[in-house]
Amino acid sequence: MDLIAHHISHRFGALEVLDDVSFTLRSGEVVAIVGPSGCGKSTLLSILGGLLQPSAGQAEWRGAPPPDSRNPLTFVFQDFALLPWCTVAENVEFPLLHANLSERERCAVVDDALRRTSLSDFRGAYPRQLSGGMRQRVGIARALGVRPAILLMDEPLSALDSQTRELLMEDFIRLLADGSMGAVYVTHNLEEAVRIADRIVVLSRRPGRIREVVTIPLSRSERGDIHAREQLLALQSDLWSLIREQAVEAEREVQHA
Amino acid sequence: MDLIAHHISHRFGALEVLDDVSFTLRSGEVVAIVGPSGCGKSTLLSILGGLLQPSAGQAEWRGAPPPDSRNPLTFVFQDFALLPWCTVAENVEFPLLHANLSERERCAVVDDALRRTSLSDFRGAYPRQLSGGMRQRVGIARALGVRPAILLMDEPLSALDSQTRELLMEDFIRLLADGSMGAVYVTHNLEEAVRIADRIVVLSRRPGRIREVVTIPLSRSERGDIHAREQLLALQSDLWSLIREQAVEAEREVQHA
Amino acid sequence: MLDRAGEQAASPPADINAEARPVAFRGAGFAPKAGRYSGWIALVLVLGLWQLAGSAGWVNPLFLPPPSAIALALWKLALSGALWNHVSASVVRIGAGWILGTMAGVAVGFAIGLSSLARGVGITFISALFPIPKIALLPLLILWLGIGEEPKIATIALGVFFSTAISVYSGVDAVPRNLIRMAQSFGVPFASIVRRVIWPGALPSILAGFRISASVALLLVVSAEMIGAQFGIGAFVLQAGNLMQTDQLLAGVVVLSLFGLAVGKLINLLETRLLHWR
Amino acid sequence: MLDRAGEQAASPPADINAEARPVAFRGAGFAPKAGRYSGWIALVLVLGLWQLAGSAGWVNPLFLPPPSAIALALWKLALSGALWNHVSASVVRIGAGWILGTMAGVAVGFAIGLSSLARGVGITFISALFPIPKIALLPLLILWLGIGEEPKIATIALGVFFSTAISVYSGVDAVPRNLIRMAQSFGVPFASIVRRVIWPGALPSILAGFRISASVALLLVVSAEMIGAQFGIGAFVLQAGNLMQTDQLLAGVVVLSLFGLAVGKLINLLETRLLHWR
Amino acid sequence: AASSEGRCQELLKAKIGVLRLSSSAPVLIAQDKGYFKEAGLEIELKFFDAAQPIAVATASGDVDFGVTAFTAGLYNLAGKGALKVIGGMSREKAGYPLIGYFASNNAHAGGLKTPKDLAGKRIAVTQTGSSFHYSLGLLADKYNFKLAEIKVLPMQSLSNAAAALKGETVDAALLPVSTARKLIDDGGARLLGWVGDETPWQLGAVFASPKALGNKPLVTKLLAALARADREYHDVILASIKDGKADINDKTRPLLEIIAKYTNLPVEQVVGNCAYIDPDGKLDVRNVANQIEWLQEQGFVDKGVGVDAIIAKEFVKAD
Ligand SMILES: Nc1ncnc2c1ncn2[C@@H]1O[C@H](COP(=O)(O)OP(=O)(O)OP(=O)(O)O)[C@@H](O)[C@H]1O
Ligand SMILES: Nc1ncnc2c1ncn2[C@@H]1O[C@H](COP(=O)(O)OP(=O)(O)OP(=O)(O)O)[C@@H](O)[C@H]1O
Ligand SMILES: [Mg+2]
Ligand SMILES: [Mg+2]
């Protein structure tokens, strides 16, 4: 299943947020979206997932979603969006309730998702009893439970400590390895972007336009090598200077005007 | 003004969260706190700032706060805690309203704080109209406005893109440069910790105990040098392996039990 | 080093575009906006049907006079000038009663929402006193306050008080605790927290309470004007009921309804004004 | 490379400890818990004062009989078995009226909260019809529904309906939109979103509405039983009023109050049960 | 003989709306002593707490017959053909205290001693157009003052009116003896006189819904049973009345106990509270016509309603 951003523009009232953004996510690919705060990354993701209607253009899909997917386009939200009246387990179970699953199967799926996010000890806790990082993990566990064809992730690891992040990142990479699942991965962390993405879409400051699309020249499995490490690090700092050269000056201008 | 964690322990019901945590923050120092998700970092910060009463031990301070400080111990919250019914400017103004300031002075302070966080264009926007990163910046602007003696920051840059983060980090470093302001800096980003902190307190998995206190052997101003870069990078990866060797195995055990 | 894929990779190839289907929009609904006219249209429809039923003789006009008869009664009343007397007398009572009841209700509601002692005592007393029928208490009110304006205003104020207090305290309960902690962390004084955090946070619930209490005030004007009132919409309605003049009775009811509509619109306005941040 | 400062740096040096002051606790308050007894103690105090005022002859016992007289009247009533007849007749009416009114109110409240058309029509009609006084309509209710149980139940149901509908729809309005978007993003069907997201999100407000509507139902039993009721607390209160048997009148009122207290406790229980996630 | 006949025949069913007041005594007696049954009727009593709803319920057909006081509302309903009067019931009559004029203590001290002094005072009644209001009108005619000189305050309920009197917020009030007794015993008000002594008039009536009127045997049997009870009530209780109080003796006790049972009052209170009822159930038609005219003058009854239109002549025994 491919996902296509087709000349998407969006404005909130008078505020132009996205300007003619187009790209294609091929089946099993991971596209990272990076760009300055407030440039429209979350907005773009909402449009791609059908939660927002763009002012112009549209999101499209092509091909068939995998038959076992319970929700082809699945979000991991930036603000987690947990149901405060549901326990951790119930939150993860929530999207499965209307799927065609037996009680038993559902439990198994929930258990699996919680184990993968190290939340098994907190099955019965309510969101208000969780730390920020734990909430984020609940959001990820919920998304994993529905076997998405494409994951739409909005800074899914931002509130996590480096260890947990490392572990979840490895999990993501393992999940994505067989090529059945694609992802749009919004992040502000270039290291993450370089590690996980096939391509990186760099957005400009608001209104977000595509500045660059950077293809990572290594397959994800190759990136674990010690050789590759160097290359990735270089890629990352190149990307950083690219972003920097484009935006920092402009930002500074505004900031110290 | 020094801030002292004096044998602090805390439990939520049956859940032991902090276990005998002690350290001292000397005037003008920055202490970073790192540790796995859910280990009690936010809880510790709440206790230090007087928002939570620990089950045992206590937070103490020593010396006098600077005379021009409007709120010696000031938080930057992990969940931002913005008033949804106030615009960006009003949110920043909020803690200043009961300070002894003229309308004019207050405006100047707000303007300055907004400019430093590149939010001047969004003075009149409501929180729901902001992106995640912008909300976080409002929280930072609000904290800067009160001229804290000690900033208690809970992952203050987690939702920001690398550019903005870079800029705000530089701002923080500049603010901290004259030694009048100290900070407790909770982060999951070792790079940040190494760049900004004088000491790094490494907490273990829940119940959070102090595993290590690592002192950074360079002054903050020296860390900008190209020489120092290397050294810091090394420090960072040392730290990472330290955390890793301590916790990852245990985590893995639980996770794939 | 960077492999800049540039424009051609950024836009989808045109040839496979044919089979692409738009992503279904899933974010629709759950944000109802009241149409400007739908309410009025429905109202007119119902009135039309009612008139038809009356004219066609489907219902006994004694049981349910048609709108035309009610309008006529209202018109006569307006011409005679009595309408104005009745309305002005009642408006003063309703206004004064509502304001008093609301002030007391908001104060008690905040107290219950903020203090443990007030909560224990307040909820018990509200539970015990709210269900006391005002009609049963009228003799006591007359005895204590006479038959002037005081007992009439007190009746309305009493009715308004309870439901306002309940709405307010449940609104206070619903204010997110993290915002209060934030304010405390900045050393904001208690009064300021109440005014700038708890009040706006509870406002949605308080306004919903006002919607209820305004209607209750209108409703209670009839009970209030049982107390020896010579003028007033309530007194007029009571007299019409006693004399079985159903057209006049309904004319009085229509006046109360019109007030209700006006107050409803006012609260809509307040909501869009004060809760625009939602 | 790492300079492990270890234990001695981790704990503060003991010698400067002397001048350290604890950080003031700023997070207190704003979480009132109703004490178990404060309400009852206050109630007993008020009753005691009232009894004292009666015994000391400060108030005329004809108009405000002391609690002892009311208790006696209640006791006699209970002994004669009439209390049971009255209470059981009223409980059926109150229960049926409350359930009907609540069901309709919840349904209409959800419709208003979810659909634009229902919102426009619903709010207009509620604003227009809520302020219609039930007492004024009694003659018409008798004409339409007779003098059986129907008009009595209808009176109560009508009173309950409006305030429930308002509480419910403002509760629905307050459900965070991001949770609804989340549910939509998982393709959760409409009915499920309503049941699993909107219902629990609106529940705090709905329960506050129940607190109001339960009291309203108790309150309206007097108006309802103006319609040719042979038994019932309301009928009993009305007759006692006509005969100036104020002790009996207040005994009836006390029964309503006790019901109110019971219902209040029940809703407290429901709140702690259903809203424990807050 | 009547009973054996009743057993073979189907009993005619009907509902009567009544107040829990002694003014309905004959209905209560007839029901309790089985006179209705003996007349071939199966009667169900429906109790109300005010006169008006009985008239409305009769108009709507929820009860077939009503027994209560005349009110403006009743005349308005009757004028629209929704019910008709078929017989007389309680009357204001000298020597039978029913409704009294009561003065507040302050007004009494200030010179309000007799009903004649009521001119120019503030007087509480239950409702505009009620029997109390009419009584005041009659009083005004008798003592040649204008009703407009009195400030008539409708209090909607007896307890409200009593409270206004006790609270000294009105000078006087018209109250039934059942309501006023406690007030008087308590020293809360002063009795000025009884309406029956000043201006006797036809207070109450029996009326029927149009549907019941169509059933002639039903109406006839009902009136016959009522007449039997009227007679007994008159001969046993009313005959024993001295100083406005019935005697409690072996003869009166059974009837008094029936009344006490239905009105929820102790026998000791029932005795001072006995309305006069004509032994033959006659109706003072002339007074009814007068009532209607008076109410029309006040604007309480629609013009064009005549006494002939509201009385079922074939059943009414005129006085
Ligand atoms: N109000 C509460 N009630 C019960 N348990 C709580 C509460 N607040 C936090 N906890 C528990 O305390 C532990 C520590 O939470 P805390 O928020 O301090 O973690 P943290 O170190 O800040 O984690 P993160 O990096 O994910 O933000 C968690 O296991 C959490 O479940
Ligand atoms: N509901 C809304 N109404 C009005 N403006 C909005 C709304 N939502 C977002 N915006 C504006 O749109 C712009 C883009 O927001 P968006 O959330 O997409 O940014 P983002 O790229 O995700 O930023 P971040 O990295 O900080 O999360 C921002 O300037 C924001 O103020
Ligand atoms: Mg975003
Ligand atoms: Mg935290």
* Amino acid A77: pLDDT: 92
pLDDT category of residue D10 using cuts at 50, 70 and 90: very low
| Ligand 2 centroid from CA A43, angstroms | 6
* Contact assessment for residue B50 and residue D24, using Cβ atoms and an 8 Å cutoff: yes
* Amino acid A251: pLDDT: 53
**Strand partners of residue B21:** B8
* Amino acid E14: pLDDT: 93
- Give how far D8 is from chain C: nearest CA, Å: 31
Burial letters E23-43, b for 16+ CB under 10 A, else e: bbbbbbbbbbbebbbbbbbeb
* Contact assessment for residue E126 and residue E175, using Cβ atoms and an 8 Å cutoff: no
* Contact assessment for residue A138 and residue A91, using Cβ atoms and an 8 Å cutoff: yes
| Ligand 1 centroid from CA B76, angstroms | 16
Q: Please give the residue that has the higher pLDDT: either B240 or E94.
A: E94
E182-208 confidence digits (pLDDT tens): 888 888 899 999 999 999 999 999 999
Q: Which residues of A touch B164 (CB under 8 A)?
A: 36-37, 188, 251
* Amino acid E183: pLDDT: 85
Give the full edge-to-edge strand order of the sheet including A199-203.
Answer: A73-76, A150-154, A182-186, A30-34, A199-203, A210-215, C3-4
- Low-confidence stretches of chain C (pLDDT < 70) are 1-18
pLDDT category of residue A64 using cuts at 50, 70 and 90: confident
- Give how far C7 is from chain A: nearest CA, Å: 8
Q: How far apart are CA B138 and CA B87, in angstroms?
A: 10
Q: How far apart are CA C27 and CA E295, in angstroms?
A: 67
pLDDT category of residue E4 using cuts at 50, 70 and 90: very low
Q: How far apart are CA E308 and CA E59, in angstroms?
A: 18
pLDDT at B80 over 60: yes
Contacts (Cβ under 8 Å, ≥6 apart) of C131? D214, D215, D218, D219, D256, D257, D259, D260, D263
State the closest ligand 2 atom to the C-alpha of B136, by its place in the atom list counted from 1: 26
A209-248 confidence digits (pLDDT tens): 998 898 988 888 788 777 778 888 888 888 888 777 655 5
Mean pLDDT of chain A: 87
* Contact assessment for residue B88 and residue B52, using Cβ atoms and an 8 Å cutoff: no
Q: How far apart are CA C71 and CA C87, in angstroms?
A: 16
Contacts (Cβ under 8 Å, ≥6 apart) of D185? A49, A50, A51, A71, A73, A74, A75, C26, C27
Helix (H/G/I), strand (E/B), else coil: E119: coil
Q: How far apart are CA B24 and CA D8, in angstroms?
A: 11
What are the distances in angstroms from CA B174 to CA B70, B75, B145, B181, B186? Answer: 20, 19, 15, 11, 19
* Contact assessment for residue A20 and residue A7, using Cβ atoms and an 8 Å cutoff: yes
Most distant CA atoms of chain D, gap in Å: 97
Q: Please give the residue that has the higher pLDDT: either C66 or B231.
A: C66
* Contact assessment for residue C247 and residue C67, using Cβ atoms and an 8 Å cutoff: no
Nearest-CA neighbor of A60 among A34, A28, A25?
Answer: A25
**Which tokens go with E74?**
């009743």
* Amino acid B245: pLDDT: 67
Kindly report each contact of residues E30-36 with a partner whose C-beta sits within 8 Å and lies 24 or more positions away, as own/partner: E30/E225, E30/E226, E30/E228, E30/E229, E32/E258, E32/E261, E32/E262, E33/E229, E33/E258, E35/E225, E35/E228, E35/E229, E36/E222, E36/E225
ipTM of the complex, rounded to two decimals: 0.88
Q: Which of B1, B2, B4, B215 to probe the D interface (max D CBs under 10 A)?
A: B4
DSSP chain B: -EEEEEEEEEEETTEEEEEEEEEEE-TT-EEEEE--TTSSHHHHHHHHTTSS--SEEEEEEES---TT-S-SEEEE-TT----TTS-HHHHHHGGGTTSS--HHHHHHHHHHHHHHTT-GGGTT--GGGS-HHHHHHHHHHHHHHT--SEEEEESTTTTS-HHHHHHHHHHHHHHHHTSS-EEEEE-S-HHHHHHH-SEEEEE-SSSB-EEEEEEPSS-TGGGGSHHHHHHHHHHHHHHHHHHIIIIIHHHHHHHT-
At position D275, the amino acid (one-letter code) is L
Lowest mean pLDDT among A47-51, A166-170, D98-102, E200-204: A166-170
Rounded mean pLDDT, B213-230: 82
**Strand partners of residue B165:** none
Burial class (CB in 10 A: 0-12, 13-18, 19+), E268: exposed
* Amino acid A114: pLDDT: 93
Token match 């004669």: residue?
A: D80
Lowest mean pLDDT among C30-44, C233-247, D36-50, D104-118: C30-44
The minimal CB distance from A62 to the residues C6, C11, C16 is found for: C16
pLDDT category of residue D134 using cuts at 50, 70 and 90: confident
Mean pLDDT of chain B: 87
Q: Which helix (H) or strand (E) holds C22?
A: strand C21-22
Token match 């409305």: residue?
A: E56
* Amino acid D38: pLDDT: 87
pLDDT category of residue B257 using cuts at 50, 70 and 90: very low
What are the DSSP E strand ranges found in chain E? 12-19, 41-48, 65-69, 84-88, 90-92, 99-104, 122-125, 151-154, 172-176, 189-194, 201-202, 204-208, 276-277
Cβ–ligand 1 distance for A30 under 6 Å, the answer: no
Q: What is the rounded radius of gyration, in angstroms, for the C-alpha atoms of chain C?
A: 27
Q: Write the DSSP symbol of residue D197.
A: I
Length of chain B: 257
Considering every ligand atom shown, identify the ligand nearest to the alpha carbon of residue A37 and give its number: 2
* Amino acid D220: pLDDT: 92
pLDDT at A204 over 60: yes
Q: How far apart are CA E199 and CA C87, in angstroms?
A: 38
* Amino acid A255: pLDDT: 47
Q: Write the DSSP symbol of residue E250.
A: T
Query: Which residue numbers of B have CB closer than 8 Å to D's CBs?
Result: 2-4, 6-7, 22-24, 46, 48-53, 58-63, 73, 199, 201, 210, 212-215, 217, 231, 234-235, 238-239, 242
**Which tokens go with B182?**
């100290």
**Which tokens go with E290?**
């007068």
Q: Which residues of D touch C90 (CB under 8 A)?
A: none
A and C touch per CB criterion (3+ pairs under 8 A): yes
Q: Which of C178, C179, C180, C186 to probe the B interface (max B CBs under 10 A)?
A: C186
State the closest ligand 1 atom to the C-alpha of A161, by its place in the atom list counted from 1: 25
Count CA atoms closer than 13 A to D104's CA, side-chain side.
17
Residue having the nearest C-alpha atom to atom 22 of ligand 1: B42
Sign of CA dihedral A51, B139, C277, C197: positive
pLDDT category of residue D114 using cuts at 50, 70 and 90: very high
Q: Within a 10 A sphere around the Cβ of A163, how many other Cβ atoms?
A: 22
pLDDT at A100 over 90: no
B17-44 confidence digits (pLDDT tens): 999 999 999 988 999 999 888 889 999 9
Cβ–ligand 2 distance for B134 under 6 Å, the answer: yes
* Amino acid E51: pLDDT: 84
Q: How far apart are CA E70 and CA E205, in angstroms?
A: 7
* Contact assessment for residue E162 and residue E156, using Cβ atoms and an 8 Å cutoff: no
* Amino acid C19: pLDDT: 78
pLDDT category of residue B249 using cuts at 50, 70 and 90: low
Query: Which pTM value belongs to this model?
Result: 0.89
Do the strands B199-203 and B30-34 form a parallel or antiparallel pair, or are they unpaired?
A: parallel
pLDDT at E110 over 60: yes
Rounded mean pLDDT, D202-227: 91
* Amino acid B192: pLDDT: 87
| Preceding omega of B217 cis (within 30 degrees of 0) | no
**Which tokens go with E161?**
């009116």
A116-140 confidence digits (pLDDT tens): 888 998 999 999 999 888 898 999 9
C183-203 confidence digits (pLDDT tens): 999 999 999 999 999 999 999
* Amino acid E296: pLDDT: 92
